[in-house]
């Protein structure tokens, strides 16, 4: 079958919604010999989605268009993880890729919410369905891990412990739902940039590896209320993100003054998450943060939610 063109597909496309991820716990170890950092993290998928649509293309090739967040800025060639994902599915199936991918992006770009990884996960699932390629869970996870540390989780969603580079997942049976206000900023922080700052701060004696995920995992499994969860949020990259973008401190302080239970940098930042008591509190908190200024956009979200391959 190798070298053949992708099988004919119906004219209708395949669309999948892929959630953003947050890290209620993000422990970052020291840099390893391979340049990566060991992670002890807890992922949770939230209801802020990108939509990936795959449609058949008459000629072989991968064509990407983007609307929403990052349109006109993000690459539409091999530099986009979704392109690499489509190519991987075709390689796995032994066919030539022939697909139009449209990314309708709502997840902020370079915001610590794994938007690029979400698009890659969506492209894996959408292309497999479009081309009717049967891929088992284990193989899909392997393909996802080859694309990036966050991609396997974006496939499944929910809540999970991540170890290794973050790609080794253990599902967590979370009982309940938690409400967040997601505040984006006008700046961006690349993940490698933030890791370098973590290393620099560690050399100065600032920060340590928060490896124990036990307390927050127990809280999720027991359906802890938001007040209890607020005391358990950890992000070893937060100090580095604030060091790189000092304006984040003002945004976080402002959200706390407006009544947030906790202010938490999302992943490598610079998006800031504010934990709310419930939906009503989240709506009021989002309104006050918008009125206060300092955020580019403010979104409501809840989690956990399922991924496209759950």
Contacts of 29 (CB under 8 A, 6+ apart): 37, 38, 39, 40, 209, 211
Above 80 in pLDDT, residue 279?
yes
310 occurs within a structural domain: no
The CATH number given to whatever domain includes residue 275 is: 3.30.70.890
Q: What is the pLDDT of residues 55-102, one digit of tens each?
A: 999 999 999 999 999 999 999 999 999 999 999 999 999 999 999 999
309 occurs within a structural domain: no
Above 80 in pLDDT, residue 222?
yes
* DSSP-assigned letter for residue 153: H
Q: Let me know whether 191 and 146 are in one domain.
A: no
Number of domains making up the chain: 2
4 occurs within a structural domain: no
CA distance 199 to 237: 10
Burial class (CB in 10 A: 0-12, 13-18, 19+), 8: exposed
Joined tokens for residue 188: 């961006």
29 is in an annotated binding site: no
83 occurs within a structural domain: yes
Q: Let me know whether 185 and 109 are in one domain.
A: no
As a whole number of Å, the end-to-end CA separation of the chain is 29
Q: Let me know whether 119 and 183 are in one domain.
A: no
Q: Let me know whether 165 and 183 are in one domain.
A: no
Q: Let me know whether 148 and 187 are in one domain.
A: no
Out of 17, 50, 119, 150, which one is annotated catalytic?
A: 150
pLDDT at 9: 46
The CATH number given to whatever domain includes residue 152 is: 3.30.230.10
CA distance 212 to 141: 25
Q: Let me know whether 240 and 143 are in one domain.
A: no
* Residue written as token pair 């709502």: 106
Domain boundary among 113, 140, 172: 172
Give the global pTM.
Answer: 0.91
Q: Let me know whether 132 and 221 are in one domain.
A: no
pLDDT at 189: 87
Q: Let me know whether 152 and 129 are in one domain.
A: yes
Domain boundary among 152, 172, 192: 172
Q: Average pLDDT, stretch 12-28?
A: 95
134 is in an annotated binding site: no
Give yes or no: 21 in active site: yes
Domain of 230, in residue numbers:
178-303
234 occurs within a structural domain: yes
Joined tokens for residue 56: 């058949």
116 is in an annotated binding site: yes
8 occurs within a structural domain: no
Q: Let me know whether 24 and 151 are in one domain.
A: yes
Going by pLDDT thresholds of 50, 70 and 90, the confidence category of residue 139 is very high
Give yes or no: 84 in active site: no
86 occurs within a structural domain: yes
6 occurs within a structural domain: no
* DSSP-assigned letter for residue 271: -
Q: Let me know whether 262 and 289 are in one domain.
A: yes
Closest residue by Cα to residue 274 from 24, 12, 15: 24
114 is in an annotated binding site: yes
Q: Are 87 and 93 in contact (CB under 8 A)?
A: no
């Amino acid at each position: 079958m190798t070298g053949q063109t992708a099988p004919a597909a119906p004219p209708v496309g395949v669309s999948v919604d892929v959630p953003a991820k947050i890290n209620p716990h993000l422990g970052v170890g020291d840099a390893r010999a391979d340049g990566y950092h060991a992670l002890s993290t807890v992922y949770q998928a939230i209801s802020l989605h990108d939509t990936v649509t795959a449609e058949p293309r008459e000629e072989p090739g991968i064509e990407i268009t983007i609307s929403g967040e990052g349109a006109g800025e993000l690459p539409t060639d091999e530099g986009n993880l979704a392109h690499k994902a489509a190519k991987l599915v075709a390689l796995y199936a032994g066919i030539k890729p022939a697909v139009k991918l449209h990314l309708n992006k709502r997840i902020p770009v370079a915001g610590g919410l794994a938007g690029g990884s979400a698009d890659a996960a969506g492209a894996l699932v959408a292309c497999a369905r479009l081309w009717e390629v049967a891929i088992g869970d284990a193989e899909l996870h392997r393909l996802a891990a080859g694309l990036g540390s966050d991609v396997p989780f974006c496939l499944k969603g929910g809540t999970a412990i991540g170890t290794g580079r973050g790609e080794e997942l253990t599902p967590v049976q979370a009982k309940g739902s938690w409400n967040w206000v997601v505040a984006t900023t006008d700046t961006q922080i690349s993940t490698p940039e933030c890791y370098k700052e973590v290393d620099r701060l560690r050399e100065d004696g600032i920060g340590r590896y928060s490896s124990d995920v036990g307390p927050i995992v127990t809280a999720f499994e027991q359906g802890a209320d938001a007040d209890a969860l607020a005391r358990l949020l950890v992000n070893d990259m937060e100090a580095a993100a604030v060091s790189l973008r000092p304006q984040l401190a003002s945004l976080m302080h402002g959200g706390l003054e407006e009544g947030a239970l906790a202010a938490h940098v999302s992943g490598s930042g610079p998006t800031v998450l504010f934990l709310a008591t419930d939906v009503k509190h989240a709506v009021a908190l989002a309104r006050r943060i918008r009125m206060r200024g300092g955020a580019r956009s403010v979104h409501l979200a809840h989690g956990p939610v399922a991924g496209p391959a759950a």
